[in-house]
Amino acid sequence: MEQGGIIVKQKTYSEVWDLDVFFKGGSGSMELRTHLDSVKEKLGSLEETASAFEVPRSAGASKQVVDLIESLKEVALNLSQAGAVIGCFLAADTTDKKALQLQGETGSLGARFSTIGLKIRQTLAKADEDTWNGLMESDELKGFAFVLNEWREEVNLKLSEEEESLITSLSVDGYHGWGQLYDMLVGEIKIKIELDGEEKELSVGQANNLSSHENADVRKRSFEALEEAWEGKEDFFASALNHIAGFRLEVYKKRGWDSVLKEPLLRNRMSEETLDAMWGAIGVNKAPFVEYLNVKARMLGTDKMNWYDMDAPVTASTKKMTYQEGAEFILKHFREFGPELEGFSRQAFEDSWIEAEDRPNKRPGGFCTGMPASEQSRIFMTYSGTMSNVATLAHELGHAFHSYALRPVHWMNRQYAMGVAETASTFAEMIVADAAVKAAETKDEKIALLEDKIQRSVAFFMNIHARFLFETRFYDERKNGIVPAERLNELMAEAQQEAYGDALNTVHPHFWASKLHFYITGVQFYNFPYTFGYLFSLSIYAKALENGEGFEQKYMALLRDTAVMSVEDLAMKHLGEDITKQEFWAKGVALCVKDVEEFLELTSVKG
């Protein structure tokens, strides 16, 4: 770059993340070993303190409770940091055996920590009404009242102390182990495909990236190769999925919970009314998106949309960006929203918080993980230069920004739920996507970028809806026994047709095997929170456009409140909206319909 005759060298950002800053030397790190040993020691003394902890008899116990919270925080921060780093090692190299072994170790430590947390919650919950109220009003604890009340409520909904602690310890091998097995199976899959006259062996992540290839034949062949790979191991995946679900259902049955949605709704601090209102508003507004899919299919020369064409580019000029260009593009548009988001993200690029390199043996997908003991985050993805990769990068930076906004908040009040977890990420993604449409230089480019935005609505209103329908129905059938792979394929195909408003010519029956989210044991129903976050952030975004520059501080105030109130209260306090009503959600959907209308207009005059 040249400025006033002086050559200004633009910073080159590393595409490989820096994990050495936490523990030098990868999974064999001595520093990591020492850290884990020290966590183990702290955990041991916390176990002693926790077992000596007695049911509070008066509000005077508040000092003791707050000390206990501080000890919990100390172990939690260090343990999750170790777990996060190890997760990063494995994501970046699925063949890292040492990391796999360490993951087992932190898994056990995590289970011990959960047991301690549970013990403390159960003991606290036994305090009588007067003592409890006194504790909640005390200077030491009143700042934690929301979370503490939630703890108490949860204890009352669950089984006895002994039973719950048995479940927690059995879940290491009997539950979470299935999720780890899934990751291992996927990591081993190699997709053989001929590209540019050369036989290539790709990881699942690399093959997935071919879904947006400009060549229809490559898209179809890579999709088929993937489907074949999932089919080849379908019985293993079906077994893992059935055991995960079986374990969950058995626990729910013992607790007397009749709905599989009870736990995810509790976790999301969301009412069923809100969830119903959201899907209701989406359900009655599918027509424009079906029309978009039909138009796109015709643009691609078919009558009806094929699954493998869903991500196909519709114009010749699909912009590609190098990683550096993608980074600068994101920063430029973040800057237009606010200085904090831009400054924070620039730092993340400069300090190598991001693993983006396109290479084999990486896990597919993208994620952002917190390193809470260092107040940092790390982002993982496979960047191949598409606009959708740029959006993913912005999305993950949004997650990291959420953690950044929460830095002044105590650990106890930072444990935000899934739905709001996807709010900051979607918001960041939207800034970049919207700005990109506005900045488009040609009509083809505008169509491509607009389409990228619509794709997102299709993902949240149709793809995620299909996952939700599939999972709800699968769990229903699982109650009566093992659901074989063949039936899972059927359930998935049905759910996809329904969620896509019958707009599909071919579907993706093995989607249940290919999608990691169904196998994440720590999180139940990792689907509807995405849609919630998308529509919720859309309405924040609309407010941001109304408010202009000063909005960033208000936005950060909302983010800081994400872990201390129900989503209904959060929306009421910061947006003045009642989200249990379909009208709220319909407003968000209407914004997305506008994109479709613009797209249809631009493509119809295209001829």
Nearest-approach distance from CB 69 to Zn ion, in angstroms = 28
Q: CA of 36: how far to CAs of 29, 79, 110, 173, in Å?
A: 11, 8, 12, 20
Give the residue at shortest CB distance from Zn ion.
Answer: 425
Residue 511 and residue 50: Cα distance in Å, rounded?
Answer: 44
Residue 116 or 433 having the CB closest to Zn ion:
433
Nearest-approach distance from CB 118 to Zn ion, in angstroms = 28
Nearest-approach distance from CB 164 to Zn ion, in angstroms = 30
> Which single residue is written with the structure tokens 């030098």?
24
Tokens at 394, concatenated: 């912005």
Residue 425 or 562 having the CB closest to Zn ion:
425
| Beta strands 376-380; 367-371: pairing state | antiparallel
| Helices 387-405 & 339-350 angle (0-180, nearest 10) | 110
Strands, DSSP E only, in 145-282?
Answer: 191-195, 198-202
Residue 375 and residue 378: Cα distance in Å, rounded?
Answer: 11
Nearest-approach distance from CB 77 to Zn ion, in angstroms = 22
Nearest-approach distance from CB 424 to Zn ion, in angstroms = 9
**Cβ atoms of 146 and 70 closer than 8 Å:** no
CB atoms within 10 A of CB 425: 24
Residue 94 and residue 296: Cα distance in Å, rounded?
Answer: 37
Q: Which residues contact 5 (CB under 8 A, 6 or more apart)?
A: none
Residue 504 or 567 having the CB closest to Zn ion:
567
> Which single residue is written with the structure tokens 């792979």?
485
Residue 122 or 425 having the CB closest to Zn ion:
425
Nearest-approach distance from CB 398 to Zn ion, in angstroms = 8
Nearest-approach distance from CB 355 to Zn ion, in angstroms = 16
Among residues 182, 453, 213, 172, the alpha carbon closest in space to that of 312 is found at 213
**Cβ atoms of 297 and 314 closer than 8 Å:** no
Q: CA of 439: how far to CAs of 329, 434, 449, 592, in Å?
A: 11, 9, 10, 19
Tokens at 466, concatenated: 């299909």
Nearest-approach distance from CB 426 to Zn ion, in angstroms = 8
Sign of the CA dihedral running 76, 82, 83, 88: positive
Nearest-approach distance from CB 537 to Zn ion, in angstroms = 11
Residue 296 or 399 having the CB closest to Zn ion:
399
Residue 425 or 537 having the CB closest to Zn ion:
425
Residue 78 or 425 having the CB closest to Zn ion:
425
Tokens at 159, concatenated: 């089984």
Among left, alpha and beta (phi > 0; psi -120 to 50; other), residue 5 is left
Nearest-approach distance from CB 167 to Zn ion, in angstroms = 28
Residue 171 or 425 having the CB closest to Zn ion:
425
Largest CA distance in the chain: 78
Per DSSP, 479 falls in state T
Nearest-approach distance from CB 368 to Zn ion, in angstroms = 7
Number of H helices, E strands in the chain: 25, 9
Residue 267 or 581 having the CB closest to Zn ion:
267
Residue 419 or 588 having the CB closest to Zn ion:
419
Can you give the binding site for Zn ion, defined by CB under 5 A? 425
Phi–psi pair at 141, nearest 5 degrees? -110, -10
Residue 171 or 539 having the CB closest to Zn ion:
539
